[in-house]
Amino acid sequence: MLLEEFNSADRDGAIAALRPCVDVTRWCEQIADRRPYGTIEALAAEAAGAAAPFTTDEVAAALAHHPRIGERADGSSREAAMSRAEQAGVDPADQAVQEALNEGNLAYEQRFGRVFLIRAAGRDAREILSSLQERLRNDAEAEDRIVAEQLREIALLRLKGTVTA
């Protein structure tokens, strides 16, 4: 969607365009309600601080849409397509890394009660695995902050692919 189209869309249409970026209602509404934006950079700057900080419930709801690292999102939605593109560096052909990611995902879920989240775009499987193993050492409070930050990074990356100049 072009920035001009986003700016001129009705509120519901603007919010709907933002939801695949991150399904946090407060974030989508704040960005939509502060239109119009003169540039993509202004939109991204607003998005970087919108709904800050995400609440625990907002993070949990948004994570419900994220597949495990190393698993391909099913479906034909924009969000699923974005997720598959973001995880392009996770090569399922490397069986040892894939198995380690699967084990790490399970350990993370048991420790923190949610799916492991990392901005996967631009990272390969070994780098992601290293981050996963490192983050398993975090306490819950530190991990909550990291997950919220990663969610925001993913949202901004997706926003820049959703609304263009």
d(CA 69, CA 132): 10
- State residue 42's pLDDT score: 98
Q: Hey, is 56 helix, strand or coil?
A: helix
The pTM of the full predicted model, rounded to 2 decimals, is 0.85
Rounded Cα distance, 165 and 148, in Å = 27
Residue 128 has what pLDDT?
A: 93
Tell me what pLDDT residue 40 has.
97
Encoding tokens for residue 60?
């949990």
Single-letter code of the amino acid located at 17: A
Question: How confident is the chain (165 residues) per 10-residue block, as mean pLDDT?
Answer: 98 97 96 98 97 94 84 65 64 81 96 95 91 97 95 95 95
